[in-house]
Structure formats: C-alpha cells, structure tokens
Structure 1
C-alpha cells in the first residue's frame, strides 16, 4: 500500500516541521500546489504567487503580520535540492529516484472549528528490506577523489558529495517516517505527505528562519562520534574548522544578497552540539532583511543550502551534477513552515522519503583537499545509520 495524499488522510494532528504547536490539532488543509520541472515556470515565483493568492503576505517578509484565527494559519513548504538548483540557475543533476515526489510542495492550512480529536491508528504489518546503496564504497571514494582533483585545479574550494540508498517495504510508511521526529536533536522533526509520496525529517539544521525582519541561518559542518574523544577531535581539527568557516563565509554572502547594508553578522561560530551518536559543529549567521524582500528572492538566495553544496556554490552545483549518479530527491532541500510574520525552514538532511514501493535515504559530507575518501564513506554511513534503524522500527 503506497502513501495516500494528505487530503485523503483521516483527521489528525498536522506534524509538519515548525508548524505552530498551539494550532497543530486544529489545522485543516485548504489547498496545495506542487511543481515538477515539466510544469515549467519559475518555482520560486510560482510559490510566492500561490501563497499570496491564499492571503499570506509573503511578497514583503519585513512587513509585520499577526496570526488571524479566522484566516490562513500558514503553509507547509517543501523545496527539493533540484528545485533550489533551478532557482540558482544551475544544473539540477541526476533524476529524482522518487518519481512520484514533486520538487516543490506547498500546503495551505486553515483552522478547523471545533478542533478535531486526535486520529486513532491501528498498528499494521510493517517490514523494511535491506538497504541497497546506489553506488559502491569504491564509487563513493572515486567521487571524493574527483572533487579533490577539482579543488587541486582551483575549480572549487569545497563540495558536498551525497549518496542515495533505497529499501523495499510493506505496510504504511507514514508511522515509520513520523518516528524520525523523535531522534535526539531533530529540530525539524516532522512529516509531509502527498499522493504517492511521503517525507519524514529528523534534521537538526536551520536553512533559513525569518522573524520580525531578522533572517537567520545555522549551517552545520563537521562531524565526529559523540564521545569525549570525538568532541576533542572535532574542536582540534584544522580540516573541519577550515571547512566550516568556508561555509560560514558562503552563508554570509547568501544573506548579504537579502540584507540591509552592514547588518550581516556571525552570532556564534563553531559551537559543538549533539545529534544522536554524533557531535556536529554549528554556527549562527544573521542579518536584517532589506525592505521589500519577498519569499521568491529569499529562496533564490539561500537554496540549495551552502552546507550541502559547497563553495563557490554555482561551481559546486555543476560538479555535484557531474559526480552524483542519483538525484538528491527529498534530501538536501528545505522543509518547514511559512506563516504570518514568520518563516522557518529546516535543511532536509537526515531525511527519508517513500513512494509506493520503496523507502529512500540520502547521506554524505563536505569534501576538501584534506579529505580522506575512506573516512568520508564511513561518515556518510554513520549519518545514515540512526535514520535506517528507526525506520526499521
């Protein structure tokens, strides 16, 4: 049995990442928009137009707005890495392995009156088969070496390389995908469903957040096992720190395209935080939005995220398209909430998707000149392991 569309689900709590907690039990879908490359047009502009048409003032994100219980609560927003590349005018890479999954999905929610009771679900048979990677460890290592060669030529400074894996399943994938929200550190834990597809997210990373005209991104780059020795290694690693600072600089540049002159700042640099059994380094970069910046301009500036592309971003995207044999699908994109006066999108790392037959997952890491191919293959496996274990249930 494949995933159903949201509009056919029995009533229940909406669990989209960053949706307002006070409204989740009362949300009801009003309309949705999905975009695929064959549809044509500019996905950033089409997304903004759709939300404006439903009374969400996203043409100027600096404009004060309040929550109206009688109006739209907000919208779930999903933007794939391929859609982000299209917004940036870069190659979108290999085909999406989840053929039913759109590259952009927007679901507008209003409030049900009275609020609906929680949905009761009956446990069903659930089985997940073995995961099959779309490339061998050797092929992954070869991609790392190709990036190192490009760095040696001066084409790029850093590139994120991502692999894909899939597993057959039987049963309803939605409860398994919803379990991902329970992983420690899943700041953007939640799900989104459509006709023939479903996404589950356990991401700790903020791609972009806007509140009261302040825009924030929190790039994560740098990983070690969550042991005392691992924490010391991460803090002492010149390679990880250099990789991290390059991405912080890229994010400063992305926000500068949207910001009031002189307002971009690094609020926190290389803070070590835990996600499941891993230590990761995170920074916080913020700015004040310039007047009149709308959602389309914001998406074009920040998508796809710098920590999952590389520097320079356009050159990194071109190299990614050349070395990754399978598309990033639901991975390395954006998923979250857009509401009156507030936007909060997580980067879809630690994310899985389902079509009617298979579960799909993505994992990778940033490659610099000092990267060791075997270590990069092992790091990707360590990132994928908690997600796979929880999906197996």
Structure 2
C-alpha cells in the first residue's frame, strides 16, 4: 500500500495521455503529482483508504453533494482531479464478497488513485509504457490463448443455469480471459483500444511495468449537479437493422436488462440519499459493431454522502455480477478459473466538482510480457450456452483487432474475428 508518493522518477512515462473519464477542458493541462496503491491482502478498507488519500490531496470526496456549485481554482499547481481505478477483486471486497480467482496480471494493484495538478499545456504522448515495453522496437502481437475452451465456457453457462434453477441466483455474469505475448512499445496499440467508437471512458492509465486501456461505454457511477447516476448496459446484438429489431423484440434480453436495472435501483436506494428513479429504460446504443441496451437510473443527493459510500454501494457493477449481487459473486468465484483483474471493475475520474467512473468492460491490460483481455455476458435461465460464448467473442473482437492494428468490420457477427 502506498500513500502519496511523488512519481516523477518512479513512473517516467505515466500521466501523459488521456485519462479515462477526465474532462476535455483539462486535457494536456494536468500533471501527476502523487498516487495511492492498494492490493487485496494488504488489509484495511480500500474504499475508506482511497477516499482519505484523495481528501488529503485536496479533492472534496467526503460530501459529494456540496461540490457542484463551489468555485474550484484552476491555476498552475491547483488540484485538477484524480484518475481512479478499482479492480473487480477490490470491488467484491468492498461489497463484502470473495476476491475471486487470482489475477493473471498480479503486478497491477487492485486500487490505484493518481492525483493530477494543473500545469502549463503540453501535447500528450502515445508512449505510455516506457517501463513496460518488451524489448523495444516495432510492436508485434502474438496469438491469443484463451483461459478456457469454448466447451468449458459453455459448461460454466450451464452451471449458472442450474444454480438459477435451484433458486441460488436469478442471473450471473460469466467472464472469460485471453492473453497474447507481445514485443515493442504497446502504447500506440493501447491508444487504438481507447479510441474505439462508443468508448465513453476511452483512455489509458499506466504505472511501473503495466498499463490499462479501456474503451468502456458504461457508466458505473456519475455524480454531477447534485445527482448520483448509473447507466447499466445489458443486452447485445450485431449493429445491423436486423440486430436492432432482434434486440428490441427479445423478451430474454429485456428481462435480463430489467433485472439489472432493479439491482441498480436497490444499490442506489441503500445509500438513502433520496428517491430513486429510472430516467430511461432499454435505450439502444451502439458500441463498435454492436447494439447494446442501456438504462439510466439516478437519485438526488439529499444528505451528505462520500466517495467511500458510493464505492461500497455500487462496486462491483450489477451488470457484470448478477442478482442477488452477493450470491452471484460466490458463483463467479467458484466458476471462473482466472481472475477478472482490471476488467469488470471501475476506471474513471474524480474531479473537483464531479465523479465519473466507468465500468471497466471492453478493457485491456499489459504487463512486461503479455496483453490481457476479458469478455463475457449475463446468464439467465433462458440463456443458450453456445450463443453466450459467441456473444463474448463478439465483444472481444474489436479490442483484438485494435491491438493487432487491423480493421474490424463495423457489423461483424459473433465469432467472426
């Protein structure tokens, strides 16, 4: 665990590119000043520890409802905000669940907060991986190896359906992992991932010997203008006219989606901040070559609420766990052979007047030797195992294509890339 150490020498190339969720007005104007790191097994309450670190560095995270209308200086040396990352394991710990299987990228901490201060504008660099580049030179990506076979993935879907039939759970999200060797500097490849169409939280976060790139379209939690907002995504089809019709007409996808919306409503209600409402239900949005269904759930902040409470209530996100959340986490820990690592957690920005954390789906990680990806989907009693395996492949395909530097068909069907 690290509290507030300076990073100019220890992280020579971090802090130069776009950070997930960071405001456009600060691009090129913020510089890293210090960071906090925590890993599962280090002890303590990670939600409280990171909130204390951010508060101690001038960010108003103890009462999120009071920051919207306050004046925040923007001169050089003043706090701009902080990049915040929470792994799936840390999110489960915050929720009182099991940490799950070990991460395949153990060198990446489970919670990272990087405080930035305003500075003179400079051009961002794509080279975010000086401490991590494998051998230097031209970027080359080797073949991907999956952590489980199609048959093993399908068997996990079948096991979830059996758990649902027993009444253990109503829905569980099942996630698979794949990795590939690489040589060269992965910075430009990670930038391609972050730039995928529909990436609301596109950006890169890096440290000593590792980097995370996200193309996430999904909001885990946003605090802005006196409201707490979450935008769960659940339901996927190819981005064709037929695919859109199928998604809108699918009783299975709608039931799965509404179940997660109800879970998110419950998560917000447990905060006791004010009446929860569904602002939008089952709206169809596009991410790369896929249609996805998204809803908007929000509540006003009518009592003091801090960042630690938000993290405990909403991590890990309902759309990547299932319902009930705690029971789903137990099933996930039992079935998934490889930890979710950086994926299915949170990655975004804590500003001086807002919080905007994306759910780290569509997210890649690199260490000194390999690139890592995760993808999956929600399983209900009506799920078809083979179709679920294909859906996970469809979600991973644009990231694999971006990393390899090859074009991706805008309407690729599951399993075609």
Q: Please report the TM-score for the alignment, with normalisation by the length of structure 2.
A: 0.90
Superposed, 1:43-122 pairs within 5 Å as 43-64=46-67, 65-70=70-75, 71-112=78-119, 114-119=120-125
Which of 258, 276, 279 pairs up with 2:271?
Answer: 258
Label 1:290 to 1:257 Cα distance change in 2 as closer, same or farther (>3 A): farther
Q: Structure 1, residues 264-296: CA drift from partner, whole Å, max 9, x if none?
A: 100000011111111110000010124111000
Partner residue of 1:223? 236
The alpha-carbon deviation at position 115 of structure 1 amounts to 2.3
Superposed, 1:131-280 pairs within 5 Å as 131-261=144-274, 263-280=275-292
The alpha-carbon deviation at position 14 of structure 1 amounts to 3.4
Q: Is 1:26 matched up with 2:29?
A: yes
State how many pairs are aligned: 388
The alpha-carbon deviation at position 10 of structure 1 amounts to 4.9
The alpha-carbon deviation at position 119 of structure 1 amounts to 3.9
Q: Distance in 1 between matches of 2:104 and 2:220?
A: 23
Q: Distance in 1 between matches of 2:338 and 2:302?
A: 38
Partner residue of 2:410? none
Q: Please report the TM-score for the alignment, with normalisation by the length of structure 1.
A: 0.95
Note if contact 1:19-1:336 (Cα within 8 Å) is conserved in structure 2: yes
Q: Structure 1, residues 228-264: CA drift from partner, whole Å, max 9, x if none?
A: 1111111010000000000000000001122434x21
Note if contact 1:176-1:392 (Cα within 8 Å) is conserved in structure 2: yes
Aligned-residue CA RMSD in angstroms?
A: 1.8
Q: Distance in 2 between matches of 1:30 and 1:104?
A: 17
Farther-moved stretch of structure 1 (321-330 vs 14-23): 14-23
Q: Distance in 1 between matches of 2:301 and 2:47?
A: 18
Q: Distance in 2 between matches of 1:207 and 1:120?
A: 27
Higher RCO structure (Cα 8 Å, ≥6 apart): 1
Label 1:254 to 1:361 Cα distance change in 2 as closer, same or farther (>3 A): same
Q: Structure 1, residues 318-363: CA drift from partner, whole Å, max 9, x if none?
A: 0000000000011101100001120000011100000100000000
Please, which runs of 5 or more residues in structure 1 have no aligned partner? none
The alpha-carbon deviation at position 116 of structure 1 amounts to 2.7
Q: Distance in 2 between matches of 1:339 and 1:255?
A: 21
Label 1:120 to 1:229 Cα distance change in 2 as closer, same or farther (>3 A): closer
Q: Distance in 2 between matches of 1:147 and 1:11?
A: 40
Which of 312, 326, 345 pairs up with 1:314?
Answer: 326
Aligned residue for 1:166, secondary structure, equals: strand
Q: Structure 1, residues 199-253: CA drift from partner, whole Å, max 9, x if none?
A: 0000110110001220100000000111111111110100000000000000000
Q: Distance in 2 between matches of 1:325 and 1:6?
A: 37
Please, which runs of 5 or more residues in structure 2 have no aligned partner? 1-6, 131-135, 406-417
Q: Distance in 2 between matches of 1:268 and 1:117?
A: 38
Note if contact 2:92-2:329 (Cα within 8 Å) is conserved in structure 1: yes
Note if contact 2:278-2:295 (Cα within 8 Å) is conserved in structure 1: yes
